[in-house]
Chains A and B, each alone.
Chain A
Amino acid sequence: MAPDAPVKTSSPGALPNPVTRLVRWDVIVTALLIVVFAGGALGTPDFATSDNLSFALDDLSEIALIALPMTLLVVAAEVDLSVASVLGLSSALLGALWDAGWAIETIIPLLIIVGAIAGLVNGLLVTRLGLPSLAVTIGTLTLYRGLAYVVLGTKAVAQFPQNYADLATKTVPGTPIPYPFALFIVAAIVTAVVLHATGAGRAIFATGAQEEAAFFAGIRVKRIKLLLFVVSGVVSAFAGAIYTLRYGSARADNGLGLELAVIAAVLLGGVDFDGGRGTLGGVVAGVLLIGLLRNLLMLRDVATEIQSIVTGLLLIVSVLTPRIIAGVREARRHPRGSISASSQ
């Protein structure tokens, strides 16, 4: 290994052996999701009602939407912690401008531009100066949230037009799926295709797995990263509009702390934080698992603290299980070689 950058041959998420490939992380999360859903439907009468499910899905809208660009970023070995603050800034702007008499149709494109600029700032600091995105976006997390307060202060703006509020809360006729979640489904399909079936997706994976090699292969790694940050900003800003209309309340502190929930969902979905590894299907399963499990626990009157413990354990178990299974299988295959094989 040359000393310039870490080669991630031994990164912990790796399951080098073909035998262990079946016990992939995202497969386990999907299995858990099915178990939770089935368990909920059988054991809790209020759970599998279309009313409740559409609540639960609606509740997930913003986290789910933001998780998509976050997945792309994490696969490209970057992260954006400022998403929740961009959401808040967008919400505050929406409130301030609506209060000032602007029309929603003009505000939303403006929010998207603001989101793009916010993402551009992140992206430029990361790609031009070569700063770690974790540090940059902790900084912009504070900055953008601060700007939200500058824009709206302590005010809370409400009373948004009914037709927009309906778009954010009503379900697609004939289904329990709320419009924002329907949007997510479409966006998820597009993202999955881009990530797993196009050249751009190949380039993102290569960038995240080994940036230098990707650069040598003619991939414009900086441009890709910049673009992903912009997309993340745009989606977060748009999620801010949905959030505001859905709750009918524009406030500077909207979505506070949402970033960790998004990252938890992405990690739960089996995306390797070191980049270069992960599937979008896993992330969708991760998002749904977190959301439905919380909903189920709430319905069963499980204390909020316990929900937090369950979420934490879920994260730990989801990474631990494949490793343990792989270890056991290896041990069975090579009683003597087990140590070296599993520590490769």
Chain B
Amino acid sequence: MSESPPILALERVSMAFGAVRALQDVSIDLRGGEIHALAGENGAGKSTLVKILAGVHRPDEGQVLLDGSPRDFRGPGDAQHAGVAVIYQEPTLFPDLSVAENIFMGRQPRAGLGRIDRRALRAQTAALFERLGVSLDPDRPARGLSIADQQIVEIAKALSRDARVLVMDEPTAALSGNEVARLFTVARTLREQGCALLFISHRLEEIFELCQRVTTLRDGRLIATEELQGITPDDLVQRMVGRELDTLYPKQDTTVGEAVLKVERLTREGVFTDVSFEVRTGEIVALAGLVGAGRSEVVRAVFGVDRYDAGSVTVGGRRLPGGSPTAAMSAGIALVPEDRRQQGLVMDGSIERNIGLTTLRALRRGPLVSRRAERDRAADWAIRLQLKYARLSDAVGVLSGGNQQKVVLAKWLSTEPTVLIVDEPTRGIDVGTKAEVHRLLSELAADGLAVLMISSDLPEVLGMADRVLVMYEGRLAAEIPRDEATEETVVAAATGRNRREAA
């Protein structure tokens, strides 16, 4: 298999954004019938490499080789014509168009006179969804899809291209087990058909499960390209991070205090029903469930971003007025939202301003905001979270995905909350930093913080939580203490197989 010539390759490519050297002298080759993994810390340059393959960026130096001969992609269109399909790290949908149109934009099936054949469009979309094992309505608009569903549409879009090369930049970050399994099945089928695939993920077990070879980047430089057979996850981490990693889930023992956050019979019509739970100081509570179970919706309502129709939220004995994040914040709640690009960050704003946005009051000297305090605070958190950036005054939009997530964390941790709600806190974060975030959460809990964590990453749930709440179709299905929480019990509750218990 490894004898076959590379379909698509990069040769000694370099790329810089202003002062940031995103890639330096990197080569990679993607062969037919092989799934190639790309590993590296946040900001290592993976997405930049993907964008060069996709024709979004043109490299400053080096070249793109297609079937062994140099090609100059002048735009994404060129790459697509050459048979390269890409799933980008951030979903890129057209919110106002239907899901089917999103998938086939620019390549719609035609009827007579060049018109769009809507019937075929719908049928082909339905077939794709069937292949992926999901039941989305091809006619619904993309607006309002959850992050996971958006990712599914992105995958369908890439598959529909029948490409020779499929590049996937963290396709699984927002997905839970079932969808991941489906995706892997499809990917393997494509491999068997002779496609070349590039796969990026921060979940190392996925890389080992799916891929044959791995290329590791560190700080924009190529570290190694090697067969996965014969190396261990620890070896891979060593290549990525440049040092050994102790443990991914450094859970500390804490003394659990009294309940600070009490949620009682919370209901938002048509979204979730009768949700009651409490979170105590010093405790990390995980909220698990399948994608779409309504976990994010519950915490959004708790934080006051959405209104609820019935029930109550109490913090430290005082009842919160619904629908006011400001009130929730002053009661000591912080919410790290799931969608960092829309909800977590002002993409145009600088790093320091984004971090300072939640603590404008604390940054005040007299009536004015102190720029020095703002900068110091940002610098402090940047160091604590190992943020990779050029200048604190750079827009967060130019940071790599994982580093953006760190800025969101910094922004909320700096409010020094008593209740910290994190929605998918480590989505898209590299192993090194993930361990760092876990240590941080665990330390904060040990210091008496109450943490409510939503995660689709089951090992993370099991590794970090003192208690696991499981949601199924908008209701709390189970509450599982740490020592009873296993993959089986959580999945059983999340898929509704233990409904009797939940009642």
Residues on A with beta carbons closer than 8 Å to the beta carbon of B344: 213, 216
B398's nearest neighbour on chain A, judged by CB, is: A16
Residues on B with beta carbons closer than 8 Å to the beta carbon of A197: 368-369
A198 to B353, CA, bound (A): 12
0 or 1 for each of A88-118: is its CB under 8 Å from B? (1 = yes): 0000000000000000000000000000000
Segment 73-98 of B: residues with Cβ below 8 Å from A: 74-75, 90-95
A6 to chain B, nearest CB (A): 8
A339 touches B74 (CB 8 A): yes
Is B259 engaged at the interface, CB distance under 8 Å to the other chain? no
Is A193 engaged at the interface, CB distance under 8 Å to the other chain? yes
Is B397 engaged at the interface, CB distance under 8 Å to the other chain? yes
Residues on B with beta carbons closer than 8 Å to the beta carbon of A334: 16, 60
B411 touches A9 (CB 8 A): no
Is B471 engaged at the interface, CB distance under 8 Å to the other chain? no
A202 to B368, CA, bound (A): 11
B58 touches A202 (CB 8 A): no
Interface size on A, residues (CB 8 A): 44
Is B356 engaged at the interface, CB distance under 8 Å to the other chain? yes
Residues on B with beta carbons closer than 8 Å to the beta carbon of A9: 347-348, 397
0 or 1 for each of B16-52: is its CB under 8 Å from A? (1 = yes): 1111000000000000000000000000000000000
Is B346 engaged at the interface, CB distance under 8 Å to the other chain? yes
- Comparing A61-69, A203-211, A306-314, the segment that makes contact with chain B is A203-211
B368 touches A7 (CB 8 A): no
Residues on A with beta carbons closer than 8 Å to the beta carbon of B17: 17, 341
B348 touches A277 (CB 8 A): yes
A326 to B208, CA, bound (A): 45
- Comparing A168-176, A177-185, A217-225, A293-301, the segment that makes contact with chain B is A217-225
Is B458 engaged at the interface, CB distance under 8 Å to the other chain? no
Residues on B with beta carbons closer than 8 Å to the beta carbon of A203: 357, 360
B395's nearest neighbour on chain A, judged by CB, is: A16
A209 to B30, CA, bound (A): 40
Is B335 engaged at the interface, CB distance under 8 Å to the other chain? yes
Is B432 engaged at the interface, CB distance under 8 Å to the other chain? no
**Interface majority SS on A: helix, strand, loop or mixed?**
loop
Is A155 engaged at the interface, CB distance under 8 Å to the other chain? no
Is B238 engaged at the interface, CB distance under 8 Å to the other chain? no
A337 to B63, CA, bound (A): 12
Segment 241-275 of A: residues with Cβ below 8 Å from B: none
0 or 1 for each of B329-348: is its CB under 8 Å from A? (1 = yes): 10000010101011111111
B143 touches A4 (CB 8 A): yes
Is B15 engaged at the interface, CB distance under 8 Å to the other chain? yes
Tally of A-B Cβ pairs under 8 angstroms: 136
B342 touches A199 (CB 8 A): no
B57's nearest neighbour on chain A, judged by CB, is: A340
- Comparing B144-152, B214-222, B261-269, the segment that makes contact with chain A is B144-152
Is A128 engaged at the interface, CB distance under 8 Å to the other chain? no
Of B91, B142, B348, B357, the residue contacting A14 (CB under 8 A) is B348
A212 touches B364 (CB 8 A): no
B357 touches A214 (CB 8 A): yes
Residues on A with beta carbons closer than 8 Å to the beta carbon of B248: none
B347 touches A337 (CB 8 A): no
A217 to B305, CA, bound (A): 10
Is A130 engaged at the interface, CB distance under 8 Å to the other chain? no
B335 touches A216 (CB 8 A): yes
Is A332 engaged at the interface, CB distance under 8 Å to the other chain? no
0 or 1 for each of B304-329: is its CB under 8 Å from A? (1 = yes): 01000000000000000000011011
A171 to B329, CA, bound (A): 50
B280 to chain A, nearest CB (A): 24
A198 touches B339 (CB 8 A): no
A19 to B15, CA, bound (A): 17
A206 touches B343 (CB 8 A): no
0 or 1 for each of B395-406: is its CB under 8 Å from A? (1 = yes): 101100000000
| A→B interface (CB under 8 Å) | 1-5, 7-9, 11, 14, 16-19, 193, 197-199, 201-203, 205-206, 209-210, 212-220, 276-277, 334, 336-337, 339-341, 343-344
| B→A interface (CB under 8 Å) | 15-19, 56-61, 74-75, 90-95, 142-145, 147, 150, 305, 325-326, 328-329, 335, 337, 339, 341-349, 353, 356-358, 360-361, 363-364, 367-369, 391, 394-395, 397-398, 411
Of all A-B residue pairs in the complex, the 9 with the closest CB atoms, nearest first, are A3-B95, A199-B360, A218-B329, A340-B57, A210-B346, A340-B58, A3-B142, A209-B346, A216-B343
Q: A1-B342, A3-B144, A7-B347 are in contact. List 20 more A-B contacts (CB 8 A).
A: A3-B93, A4-B143, A4-B144, A4-B342, A9-B347, A19-B18, A197-B368, A199-B364, A205-B346, A206-B349, A209-B346, A209-B348, A212-B342, A214-B346, A217-B358, A334-B16, A336-B61, A337-B15, A341-B17, A344-B57
